[in-house]
């Protein structure tokens, strides 16, 4: 009986993932994948059905590489790029604190998630930082977010509406 998850697209990506052999190339591979295929600003729509499954498999591989290469202290305190996780988090929070525009704040939050979502950043640092960024974003949004009509809101946000025929 065939596995529901078996398909040529996933098989192709599993071969690419199997080739990852260090935290450094796993980090680069995962962040590039997220930016290209999963971001609200993505440039490739070819993995609509399989993208999140593939991301999960890449994350698993990066987590295993991280466990193998990092010491316990590094594992809890460093991002996979080698930077101190708390310094990366503090920089994101400072950038958000200085922000007064809700659209810019959305971009800061999305960029942080793409760049730092575990296993890139340790969960203990990521979760608190994500909460702080989300809180500030909601504070900025809560002032008349839906005051604009839908078409104007789309225009302000730069939304490109795609219709299927």
Average pLDDT over residues 57-66: 97
Residues 6+ apart with CB under 8 A from 116: 79, 88, 89, 92, 126, 129
Asked whether the predicted pLDDT for residue 1 surpasses 70, the reply is: no
CATH number of 1-69: 1.20.1280.10
Average pLDDT, the chain: 92
Average pLDDT over residues 144-156: 80
User: pLDDT tens digit string along 8-21?
Assistant: 999 999 999 999 99
In the chain, ranges of CATH 1.20.1280.10 domains: 1-69
Asked whether the predicted pLDDT for residue 114 surpasses 70, the reply is: yes
Distance CA 160, CA 93 (A): 29
* Matching residue, tokens 């080739």: 19
User: pLDDT tens digit string along 5-56?
Assistant: 778 999 999 999 999 999 999 999 999 999 999 988 888 889 988 999 999 9
Distance CA 129, CA 111 (A): 13
In the chain, ranges of CATH 1.20.1280.30 domains: 81-165
- Please name the helix (run of DSSP H) or strand (run of DSSP E) that holds residue 93, with its range, or none: helix 85-98
pLDDT score at 78? 97
pLDDT score at 2? 65
CATH C-level class of 81-165: mainly alpha
Asked whether the predicted pLDDT for residue 3 surpasses 80, the reply is: no
């Amino acid at each position: 009986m065939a596995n529901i998850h078996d398909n040529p697209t996933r098989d192709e990506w599993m071969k690419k993932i199997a080739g990852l052999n260090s935290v450094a190339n796993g980090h680069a591979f995962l962040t590039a994948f997220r930016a290209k295929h999963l971001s609200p600003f993505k440039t490739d729509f070819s993995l609509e059905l399989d993208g999140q499954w593939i991301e999960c498999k890449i994350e698993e591989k990066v987590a295993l590489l991280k466990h193998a290469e990092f010491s316990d202290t590094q594992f809890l305190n460093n991002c996979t790029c080698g930077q101190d996780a708390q310094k990366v988090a503090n920089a994101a929070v400072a950038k958000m604190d200085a922000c007064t525009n809700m659209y810019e704040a959305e971009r800061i939050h999305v960029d942080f998630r793409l760049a730092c979502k575990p296993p890139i950043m340790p969960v203990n640092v990521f979760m608190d930082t994500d909460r702080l960024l989300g809180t500030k974003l909601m504070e900025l949004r809560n002032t008349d977010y839906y005051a604009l009509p839908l078409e104007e809101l789309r225009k302000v946000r730069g939304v490109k509406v795609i219709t299927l025929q």
